[in-house]
Structure 1
Amino acid sequence: MFENHLWTMEPVGREENTVQGKNYRFTLLTPCLIRMEYREDGKFEDRPTQSVWNRRFDAVPHRLVKDGEGFELFTDRMHVIYSGGPFSKNSLMVKAIGGLHPFGANWYYGEEDGNLGGTARTLDGVNGACALQDGILSQNGCAVLDDSKSLILTEDGWIAPRQGDGVDIYLFTYGNDYKEALNDFYRLTGKTPMLPRYALGNWWSRYYAYTEDSYKELVTRFEKEEIPFSVGVIDMDWHLVEDVDPKYGSGWTGYTWNKNYFPDPERFMTWLHDHGMRITLNLHPADGIRAYEEAYPAIAAELGNVDTANEAPVDFDITSKKFLEAYFKCVLHPEEEKGVDFWWIDWQQGNTTKLPGLDPLWMLNHYHYLDSARDGKRPITFSRYAGPGSHRYPVGFSGDTHMTWDSLDFQPYFTSTASNIGYGWWSHDIGGHMLGYKNNEMAARWVQFGVFSPINRLHSSKSEFMGKEPWRYPMEIGAVMTDFLRLRHSLIPYLYTMNHRAYAENIPLILPMYYSYPQNREAYGVKNQYEFGTAFVVAPITTPKHSGVNRGKVQVWLPEGLYIDFFTGMIYSGGRTLDMYRDIHSIPVLAHAGAIVPMTGEILGTAAVHNPETLAIRVYGGADGSFTLYEDDNETNAYLKGEAVNTKMELNWEKKTFTISPAEGKLELIPAKRTIKVQFFGVKDSAVTVSVGGKEVSAEKTYDAAKSCLTVALPENNVTEEITVTMTEGGLGSNDVEGMIFDLLDRGELDFYEKEGVYALMQKKISTAAKLAQLQALNLEPELIGAVAEILTAYEA
């Protein structure tokens, strides 16, 4: 039991990379990464730990100069100076050399600044921002991962305490080569595994006493409204709660279905599966298995030392291998056989156990994940963060979020910064869980962020007034929420490819802007802006709208280049910071010129668990681009063997051709034929030619001038044939400045005299600079000037 079929472990470092004395040991892992140990007893640890699993990296060229009790160690990226004795700021220092850091960096033991942050265990009890633990990146070039207190993984797959005290740290001296540092962090600690496809769809979650009938009624209503969900989260009221005899304690912990609510759990879960949903149940395991539980006789018999005559409880002892094996076998596996797909481990009972230093949350995450991987099933957990290495056990539950603008405003930063400790799959209580207040605009903005976050899980508390069903909001707000929930499912082909990229290339879905632009100081200032996969820069709106213009505002930094808005089609020139204004229907989601985004119109029913028969491919003009669509069987570990299909797509902007190459790989995993729609954004209207397998075919073409979008609907074709779409005229499109400003004025709640004045100014045949100057002279509200200026200056050829 608990066999590891997912990761390799090579915990022993290379001897030729090691410098060792009586009480110290230094092991080079890369030219920029070094392990440094000090122990008075000289007994160093070569086994894997809770955080670190691999130390056998490639051989590192280096030069060693002995100096009495100490030494100097040189690589082409690092200079270590150690004078001997216990580590201190006076005895140990390291100089980072080269890389992207222009002046290098000096690190002294025990001193560190400039850390860019990692993440936090939970947002429980947090209204707004909270402090973050450190990550492995520093703006100053050096960062420490301290592994001194983590426990050991033994050969039989269990855990053991370290013997004695000592120092065991890893120093990352990568300067500002953040992607390189993160890649080596994953080499050190283990890869992020792929999620099942269904996890990338919408999750419905609510702390509420549903019944079988009420939950089915809810799902049926979602289907009627064409609002897609792929995961059903059943909170703690699935089990006995209020009917527990007080002699057994509270109903917080429970494993027995409440038959008054769910008379036939297997029937209920089969129904959900038939309707395209996977199921996770909430667990608060701390109180163990008590005598009233249906599983009590089986686990008591399995353990054999339980006083069942006196109804003695089976204590929850995470430090007992025998208990844990019995717990999975007798309590959880029977529910999985009925239909539970994975578990929500809602551990809230602290971090102490019988074994000093052992965090029960880490144990639950680790062994739940390994157990769920049995029989080749692709594992998934849903639990809180338990320190470095937690990225191996996705998905993360960030805790009970307060329902406030301050909490929403913190979440984009909190989510992207978690990548600095490799934690790429946070799931938040989208819309907020408790306390706070109801604000319709905030609810829509939160869902918009959720769609462009790792996991989109709508959640709320038991209050009758906190439901997140779109129809419980004013019509416009509900429509926005519905549109975005549909959008999330249409993005799954793109998201699933990014899911594979996170595993194969060690790049999380969401990255802070400074990963790609470490030398730009602006990248560190836009904390709520991030890269969303290969295609997008996203800047969620997390503050209330400005009256008058009726638009939310966010400051956006655009690196050099060309960008096209996903929703409006507006073209932007980069290399600057500007305020962007959006009505309630969108947020800034900006595609790089040349970006290619495969999507689908198949969003309902079981679509979230299958590779689609139809694709809607967005292609953004202005530069060359490529994208390889990744597909596999979606729910097993066969991807570890490379069993997948890849379909390469390329845009040649100079030749104005877009090519879809024949699919390659295990073709039985995808439909033999597909219907494809290609949408070119940021382009002029043009005639097109389409060839399939080298033969020209007819295709339907339309053009939306307001969004500079050329759409080509292709006939159904074999996935093994090459498809080429050529714009025979083409060229970069232009913004409909007049139409966009008219729309801003028309929808704004503004003085009619002001509207007429601005619109008349926009009709003048004068330069943009002159219009901006005269706009300032009109003595208008600043936000109206800002919104008009954004449109006027977005792009100029």
Structure 2
Amino acid sequence: MHATTESRAGTDAAARPEAMVERGDVRFTVLTPRLVRLEWSAEGAFRDGRTQVVVQRALEVPPFTLSEDGRFIEIDTGQLRVRYEKGTGRFGAANLAILVRRDGNPVTWNPGDAQKENLGGTYRTLDRYDGDTWQDGSKLPLEDGLIARDGWHLVDDTDGFGIDAQDWVTERPAGERQDLYFFGYGTDYRAALADFAAIAGPQPIPPRFVFGYWWSRYWNYSDEELRTLGARFEKERIPLDVLVLDMDWHTTPGLSLRPGHEHEDVFGEASGWTGYTFNRSLFPDPEAFMRWAHGQNLRITLNLHPASGVMPHEERYEAMAKALSWDTSTQAPIPFEGASQPYMRALFDTVLRPLEAQGVDFWWLDWQQWPESKSHPGLSNTWWLNHVFFTEMERDADRRGLIYHRWGGLGNHRYPIGFSGDSVISWTSLAYQPHFTSMASNVLYGYWSHDIGGHTFDKKIPRPERHLDPELYARWMQLGVFSPVLRTHSAKEASLHKEPWHFGPPYGDAIFAAIRLRYQLAPYIYAAARAAFDTGVSIVRPMYYHWPEHDEAYAYPGQYMFGDDILVAPVTVPAGADGTAPFPVWLPPGLWYSRDGAESFEGGKVLARSYTLGEIPIFVRPGSVVPLYPEGLHDLSTPPDCLILQVFPGEEGCTSLYDDDGTSQGYRRGEFATTRITSWRAEQVQRVHLDAMRGDYRDRPATRSYVVELLDAGIPESVEVNGEPLPYSAEPKPRTWLFDAAWLCIRVDLGPVSVDEPQDVVARFAPEHAPPPGLLHRMRRAGDAVKYLKQVWGDISALPDDVNLAGQAARVLAYAVEEGDDAGRAERFAAEVRRFEARYAALPDSVGATPIDDAFKLGFAQMLGR
């Protein structure tokens, strides 16, 4: 095995000499103002090499003071004060104390102190958990996170295995010793995560296609069925990036299993699951199948369960045996040992590389192997296989590493992405997953991939009653939009169909909309992935990262920040009889805008509101600039040459577009580009400025088309770009602007422009023509309510004209804006808005005067939110 990106600085991960204070059998290393390493060794021997958790210590040395006398040594960083009694040996409560300075509430830590308010980390799997409860009633045994309300955390690396120059495991050091990392951060949680990333390595950026839609189902698909499935995705215009083949892709013949022991083999492990040879009855020509998939810009991942070794029926058995000098005369299986360097080298070279040459893009390392290595007791097989597969992939032609496996413990954040396993299909599971996902960021594990929609039914549900609730699935897909990875999956049950076209309105509409929104948000998500690499703060993160002093930030675990600017609270409860789901959301202090920018909310309190199936509680910071891709993408393999910049109301805001080649490790070497965008808004003018692109990378574009959307802006008196006035157009055209009545926004089309030249967009307004607050929300609720009446009441011809007109307010407003001369456009818009507001206010009375059943009238009023 050869060195990879983890070890390019060399195998020695020693801190700089000036950061270390060594006195006999103890050594203290000041890594950051908030992070100190504490070592004691009875032999006075200290470890400088890489470990499973820590791969780098040569950080810039922060200022600190050192003072000592005949009895004590004291190190002070300004944030921490470490005091140790010299010559007293092993660290304990009697000889070591660390003061953590934090505003108004300093804390003193001594070895052995129990942490009282750890904020949680993650766990290797959600297999068979209904929410956080297993089938026997036990709770998910979450590991601790790196942060706690106590203001400190201790990472004990004493028993961590080492990693050598070939990226291979080494034994733990012998002798009596302690190797501790003390983090003291108060409430600065993000600083603690940054400190951990500095010594444990950053979260890698996955290939860009990872952020698209993954199709997965535990099903014995054939080549023809998958081609038919792909054609249907194409026909329905549903984008797709990854095709997952579960374990039926391979053969498992020749197994002699005893009744009742169908899942055991000669090694006493799960069997019938390991395989490396394509099932030719399903895939007559695997290479041709994968050529077709790649021709559709689909990436392929295959499921592996490696614990049973390599069986004699495998096509590559002889080659593997030859590489290991294995006696094939008995036709015995070649036993698995992931910590055996010869075994893994032979497995990659003779078995897996040939499959990759045929077209496999990355591997899904599924459940099965025993918990620990047999050759290295205490070494987690999950952790180790994550490391080995990921680093092996990064050796291959500068490809980004990518695996798909469960969490193995601290340090596994370096090997994305996670597979959370076979969760139970229930509203309880859906409600738990936002909390589980955001909490994993407390150990930098920012890329959990869940079985969207759940995997399997509770075994207590009779088989004839096992049907996927379409509302539950639609809401789960909405969570998937705002998850690190959007991947549907399910158990091998004929009733579990998750194809989007399987669901009729309104559920299918919500599912399709969710997938489209995911692809639109891809540039925002990709920039957040870069930020996670740079800062240690994951895409999905808890509210308390940003508002640690507010108890509410801890009390609403079902909501989270998605990147820096978007707050998401996925609805995880079913709708009531009125078709809406009540879902309270805590809005942090300050002003927040709805996803469409048309409603503002003063934070610092709980917003109690109900949501229709098509509504997701999404809130955006004032002034935010959210980059989007246009609708109609087929996949994320090649970014479109057009970007939409949604600019939210607010005095000022900024963002940074992020670009790289999407596939290589060049981003680690500085091969990327950024474009800073700022916005300012006053009463009568809004300005958006795009800086020139900075940086370079492979395939960097020379030009790009931009569409700037000014949300909740009303009708402008003028729009100009770089000082040049733009004309109004009723249809999208380069170098024009239009007003989109469906979003109540100005859309400025810059057309293709040089990325090396700045762009300045200015819109000027007359204040009296600004739309009233909440107008778009009222328009959409009116449309939903009228649609509801048409669905439940047969005699729709009896609806008053004002009800029909209120139900299509956006179209009426569009006609008012588009028709007539330019000079009167703002006045026509304002007049039509006043007419809508009058109709909207009168809607309950207008409908109440009709002979509609009272139950329908009540439903109508509830849809309006009255």
What TM-score comes out, normalization by structure 2 length? 0.83
Q: Secondary structure at the match of 2:55?
A: coil
- Per the alignment, do residues 357 and 351 of structure 1 end up closer, same or farther by CA in structure 2, a change over 3 Å counting? same
Amino acid at match of 2:406: R
Q: Distance in 1 between matches of 2:157 and 2:214?
A: 35
Q: Secondary structure at the match of 1:647?
A: strand
Where does residue 565 of structure 1 map in the other structure?
594
* Residues 626-775 of structure 1 aligned to structure 2 (within 5 Å): 626-654=654-682, 655-666=685-696, 669-691=699-721, 695-698=724-727, 699-704=735-740, 707-729=743-765, 733=771, 734-736=773-775, 739=779, 742=782
Question: Does the 8 Å CA contact 1:580/1:588 hold for their aligned counterparts?
Answer: no
Question: Does the 8 Å CA contact 1:571/1:682 hold for their aligned counterparts?
Answer: no
Counterpart pick for 2:209 among 190, 195, 198? 198
Deviation, 1:555, is 1.9
Question: Does the 8 Å CA contact 2:3/2:165 hold for their aligned counterparts?
Answer: no
Q: Distance in 2 between matches of 1:313 and 1:764?
A: 77
Deviation, 1:561, is 2.5
Deviations 1:603-659 (A, max 9, x none): 443x41112112222111122112221111111112222222322222122341112
Counterpart pick for 1:442 among 472, 481, 492? 472
* Residues 258-657 of structure 1 aligned to structure 2 (within 5 Å): 258-304=279-325, 306-353=326-373, 354-373=375-394, 374-436=396-458, 438-548=468-578, 550-567=579-596, 569-601=598-630, 603-605=632-634, 607-654=635-682, 655-657=685-687
Question: Does the 8 Å CA contact 1:143/1:171 hold for their aligned counterparts?
Answer: yes
Deviations 1:103-131 (A, max 9, x none): 12222322212111111111112111123
Deviations 1:133-184 (A, max 9, x none): 1111111211111212210112343211212343222111010111111111
Amino acid at match of 2:711: F
Deviation, 1:246, is 5.5
Q: Distance in 1 between matches of 2:539 and 2:686?
A: 29
Question: Does the 8 Å CA contact 2:584/2:609 hold for their aligned counterparts?
Answer: yes
Amino acid at match of 2:456: M
Deviation, 1:738, is 5.1
Where does residue 255 of structure 1 map in the other structure?
276
Where does residue 813 of structure 2 map in the other structure?
none
Unpaired segments ≥5 residues, structure 2: 133-139, 259-264, 459-465, 728-734, 794-799, 801-805, 807-836, 842-854
Counterpart pick for 1:212 among 191, 216, 223? 223
- Per the alignment, do residues 440 and 313 of structure 1 end up closer, same or farther by CA in structure 2, a change over 3 Å counting? same
Q: Distance in 2 between matches of 1:434 and 1:252?
A: 19
Deviation, 1:565, is 1.6
Counterpart pick for 1:73 among 65, 72, 75? 75
Deviation, 1:713, is 3.0
Q: Distance in 1 between matches of 2:753 and 2:67?
A: 66
Q: Distance in 1 between matches of 2:71 and 2:334?
A: 55
* Residues 75-154 of structure 1 aligned to structure 2 (within 5 Å): 75-83=77-85, 84-98=88-102, 101-110=103-112, 111-129=114-132, 130-154=140-164
Amino acid at match of 1:392: R
Deviation, 1:24, is 2.9
Amino acid at match of 1:92: L
- Per the alignment, do residues 765 and 510 of structure 1 end up closer, same or farther by CA in structure 2, a change over 3 Å counting? closer
Identity of aligned residues (%): 36
Q: Secondary structure at the match of 1:371?
A: helix
Where does residue 261 of structure 2 map in the other structure?
none
- Per the alignment, do residues 663 and 712 of structure 1 end up closer, same or farther by CA in structure 2, a change over 3 Å counting? same
Where does residue 4 of structure 1 map in the other structure?
4
Deviation, 1:263, is 0.7
Amino acid at match of 1:617: L
- Per the alignment, do residues 157 and 355 of structure 1 end up closer, same or farther by CA in structure 2, a change over 3 Å counting? same
Q: Distance in 1 between matches of 2:619 and 2:292?
A: 39
Deviation, 1:71, is 3.4
Deviation, 1:213, is 0.3
Deviation, 1:720, is 3.5
Q: Distance in 2 between matches of 1:685 and 1:765?
A: 21
Amino acid at match of 1:161: E
Unpaired segments ≥5 residues, structure 1: 767-779, 793-797
Where does residue 43 of structure 1 map in the other structure?
45
Moved more, 565-574 or 139-148: 565-574
Deviation, 1:786, is 13
Question: Does the 8 Å CA contact 2:720/2:763 hold for their aligned counterparts?
Answer: no
Q: Distance in 2 between matches of 1:593 and 1:108?
A: 44
- Per the alignment, do residues 85 and 748 of structure 1 end up closer, same or farther by CA in structure 2, a change over 3 Å counting? farther
Deviations 1:547-571 (A, max 9, x none): 22x2123221212332222257322
- Per the alignment, do residues 684 and 126 of structure 1 end up closer, same or farther by CA in structure 2, a change over 3 Å counting? same
Question: Does the 8 Å CA contact 2:718/2:725 hold for their aligned counterparts?
Answer: no
Amino acid at match of 1:735: G
Amino acid at match of 2:695: G
Aligned length: 764
What TM-score comes out, normalization by structure 1 length? 0.90
- Per the alignment, do residues 2 and 443 of structure 1 end up closer, same or farther by CA in structure 2, a change over 3 Å counting? farther
Where does residue 809 of structure 2 map in the other structure?
none
Question: Does the 8 Å CA contact 1:74/1:80 hold for their aligned counterparts?
Answer: yes
Q: Distance in 2 between matches of 1:632 and 1:62?
A: 38
Deviation, 1:474, is 3.0
Deviations 1:8-66 (A, max 9, x none): 55521233333334443322211211112233333322211001011222223333444
Deviations 1:481-520 (A, max 9, x none): 1111122112212222222222233331111111111122
* Residues 232-243 of structure 1 aligned to structure 2 (within 5 Å): 232-241=243-252
Amino acid at match of 1:159: V
Q: Secondary structure at the match of 2:584?
A: strand
Question: Does the 8 Å CA contact 1:644/1:669 hold for their aligned counterparts?
Answer: no
Question: Does the 8 Å CA contact 1:567/1:589 hold for their aligned counterparts?
Answer: no
Question: Does the 8 Å CA contact 1:241/1:251 hold for their aligned counterparts?
Answer: yes
Question: Does the 8 Å CA contact 2:306/2:368 hold for their aligned counterparts?
Answer: no
Amino acid at match of 1:544: P
Question: Does the 8 Å CA contact 1:684/1:730 hold for their aligned counterparts?
Answer: no
What's the C-alpha RMSD, in Å, of the aligned pairs? 3.0
Q: Distance in 2 between matches of 1:707 and 1:604?
A: 21
Question: Does the 8 Å CA contact 1:472/1:478 hold for their aligned counterparts?
Answer: yes
Q: Distance in 1 between matches of 2:766 and 2:199?
A: 48
Amino acid at match of 1:252: W
